[in-house]
Copies of this chain bind each other. A is one copy, B any other.
Amino acid sequence: MAKNLTTRGEDYSKWYNELVVKADLAENSGVRGCMVIKPYGFAIWEKMQAELDRMFKETGHQNAYFPLFIPKSYFSKEASHVDGFAKECAVVTHYRLKNAEDGSGIVVDPDAKLEEELIVRPTSETIIWDTYRKWIQSYRDLPLLINQWANVVRWEMRTRLFLRTAEFLWQEGHTAHATEREAIAEAEQMMNVYAEFVENYMAVPVLKGTKTESERFAGALETYCIEALMQDGKALQAGTSHFLGQNFAKAFDVKFATKEGSQDYVWATSWGVSTRLMGALIMTHSDDNGLVLPPKLAPDQVVIVPIYKNEEQFNAVSEVAVDLMKSLRKEGIRVKFDNRDTHKPGWKFNEYELKGVPVRIAIGPKDVEKGTVELARRDTLSKEFVPVENVVGQVKGLMEDIQKNLYNKAIQHRRDNTRSVETYEEFKEIIKTKGGFVLAHWDGTPETEERIKNETKATIRCIPIEGEIASGNCMVTGNPSKRRVVFAKAY
């Protein structure tokens, strides 16, 4: 398989689009804006889901499932929410097709018009809070800690595989609490869970922070987020967690009897990550040869490729390969032995490099004689010959080394591309020529934020939670600023 992959230097955006398709991760479908997630891409997503699901359950959450459709009127109940979400969405207006009377095919049956249109969920706060009203009567019913794995639809004009698609897969947590403090703690906890997952499993370093008012989720009082930096210097929001106050409880009349016997509105959070994480994973680690996967999320951690010219050689090589596969599997390592005779070794090397398998083992007749194998790392592209008896130990070590190396490379990249600026001139220059995260003072007003966005396309990615806090003056207006915030152009 010839790769013919555009390089990152030539055109980063094109490189990404090609890589997603060539590495068999996803492709566009016949439905505008909707993608097909191919088996290899889906296998990575399943690994991500499994870890996240475990982390959600360990923090006390349960899964449930709510309807795909939301009556139009539900959106009107929370004022800011309707502006944020009800606009660009798929609207179901009819429930039947029929054969056209002129025989021209099937048409929508005008007699089957819905009394009230249904919206394909862009997010489920409204339908879920309409349900919570029935579930919550007393403080004994709280906290209610629920997550849903689901597909959602947001009509997008310009789409990109994984990064922005009309339909995408995600999880959305929706929790209800007796107190404001508890809800805020939950929203913060979930931001931390996301950060832990993205850093430890995806090997992608993130900044934790809060969004400015204008970047907040529609209906939230505070939006916590984690922001990652891609290789091209653009930021990618990897997950958000929202403190919703009592907005949805009030909109859907969800009250509870407190321990003291009074009635109070419930406090809410919601939080989500989506298949967009796949985009972050791909863009953070991959190179001009293709995908690079961290071992913890790689569907195959090791691939064994046999090299042979005749059946005798194949049998000798296979014996070593199968033994090795068994020993590695015993250690919990995911191994594939690609013994297909329909493809040559060179084709396979290329294929697994493109697909980002962390470790490749090649075994030929000479290796069998010498009792060695060739071990290749995908992340560094280095190769070495290793005695068969050392392979299991070395591969185990590599699983950790590669995972760490990817994280370290990414954090080094972020360090090299995070800059503090004092003046707006300097800011504009860096955003234009270098990109990356730019730390700058901002006066806290939406007007200044808007101006910067219009003039530079950079947005405030977050008000960081960690790091030093020093006051200063807004780079644009000179007005006082409590601390630097993080700017970047973003996906």
Query: Measured between alpha carbons, how far is A73 from B95 in the docked complex, in Å?
Result: 16
Q: Which residues of chain B are within 8 angstroms of A134 by Cβ–Cβ distance?
A: 27
Q: Which residues of chain B are within 8 angstroms of A38 by Cβ–Cβ distance?
A: 64
Copies of this chain held together in the complex: 2
Q: A45 — nearest CB in chain B belongs to which residue?
A: B65
Q: A86 — nearest CB in chain B belongs to which residue?
A: B97
Query: Measured between alpha carbons, how far is A92 from B151 in the docked complex, in Å?
Result: 16
| A63 in contact with B46 given A87-B96, A91-B108, A167-B69 (CB within 8 Å) | yes
User: CB distance A155 to B95 under 8 Å?
Assistant: yes
Query: Measured between alpha carbons, how far is A98 from B29 in the docked complex, in Å?
Result: 28
Q: Which residues of chain B are within 8 angstroms of A74 by Cβ–Cβ distance?
A: 30
Q: Which residues of chain B are within 8 angstroms of A39 by Cβ–Cβ distance?
A: 62-64, 146
User: CB distance A97 to B87 under 8 Å?
Assistant: yes
Q: A34 — nearest CB in chain B belongs to which residue?
A: B67
Let me know if A117 is at the binding interface, CB within 8 A.
yes
Let me know if A66 is at the binding interface, CB within 8 A.
yes
| A106 in contact with B67 given A62-B39, A87-B96 (CB within 8 Å) | no
Q: Which residues of chain B are within 8 angstroms of A90 by Cβ–Cβ distance?
A: 69, 92, 94-95, 118
User: CB distance A62 to B43 under 8 Å?
Assistant: yes
Let me know if A281 is at the binding interface, CB within 8 A.
no
Let me know if A401 is at the binding interface, CB within 8 A.
no
Q: Which residues of chain B are within 8 angstroms of A65 by Cβ–Cβ distance?
A: 36-37, 42, 169
Q: Which residues of chain B are within 8 angstroms of A42 by Cβ–Cβ distance?
A: 62-65
Query: Measured between alpha carbons, how far is A74 from B31 in the docked complex, in Å?
Result: 11
Let me know if A153 is at the binding interface, CB within 8 A.
yes
| A95 in contact with B91 given A30-B71, A39-B64, A68-B151 (CB within 8 Å) | yes
Query: Measured between alpha carbons, how far is A118 from B63 in the docked complex, in Å?
Result: 29
Q: Which of B30, B66, B72, B146 contacts A127 (CB 8 A)?
A: B30
Let me know if A105 is at the binding interface, CB within 8 A.
yes
Let me know if A130 is at the binding interface, CB within 8 A.
yes
List A44-72 residues whose CB lies under 8 Å from chain B.
46, 62-72
| A31 in contact with B153 given A36-B131, A96-B88 (CB within 8 Å) | no
Can you list, as one digit per residue, whether each of A21-36 has a CB less than 8 Å from chain B (1) or not (0)?
Answer: 0000001011100111
Let me know if A304 is at the binding interface, CB within 8 A.
no
Q: A156 — nearest CB in chain B belongs to which residue?
A: B95
Query: Measured between alpha carbons, how far is A405 from B167 in the docked complex, in Å?
Result: 45
User: CB distance A92 to B91 under 8 Å?
Assistant: yes
Q: A149 — nearest CB in chain B belongs to which residue?
A: B149
Q: Which residues of chain B are within 8 angstroms of A91 by Cβ–Cβ distance?
A: 92-97, 108
Query: Measured between alpha carbons, how far is A153 from B95 in the docked complex, in Å?
Result: 10
Let me know if A298 is at the binding interface, CB within 8 A.
no
User: CB distance B67 to A31 under 8 Å?
Assistant: yes
User: CB distance A127 to B29 under 8 Å?
Assistant: yes
User: CB distance B31 to A127 under 8 Å?
Assistant: yes
Q: Which residues of chain B are within 8 angstroms of A92 by Cβ–Cβ distance?
A: 90-93, 120
Q: Which of B69, B75, B98, B153 contacts A87 (CB 8 A)?
A: B98
Let me know if A262 is at the binding interface, CB within 8 A.
no
Can you list, as one digit per residue, whether each of A332-349 has a CB less than 8 Å from chain B (1) or not (0)?
Answer: 000000000010000000
Give the 9 A-B CB pairs with smallest separation, nearest first: A34-B67, A39-B62, A37-B65, A91-B94, A95-B155, A31-B67, A90-B92, A93-B93, A39-B64
The residues of A with any CB-CB pair to B shorter than 8 Å are: 27, 29-31, 34-39, 42-43, 46, 62-76, 82, 86-98, 105-106, 108, 117-120, 127, 130-131, 134, 140, 146, 150-151, 153, 155, 167, 169, 342
Known: A27-B131, A37-B64, A68-B167. 4 other contacts (CB 8 A): A29-B66, A39-B63, A87-B97, A90-B118
Instruction: Name 20 interchain pairs, CB-CB below 8 A, sorted by A.
Output: A27-B131, A31-B70, A31-B71, A31-B127, A36-B66, A36-B131, A39-B146, A42-B63, A42-B64, A75-B97, A76-B106, A86-B97, A89-B96, A90-B95, A91-B92, A91-B95, A91-B97, A91-B108, A92-B93, A93-B108
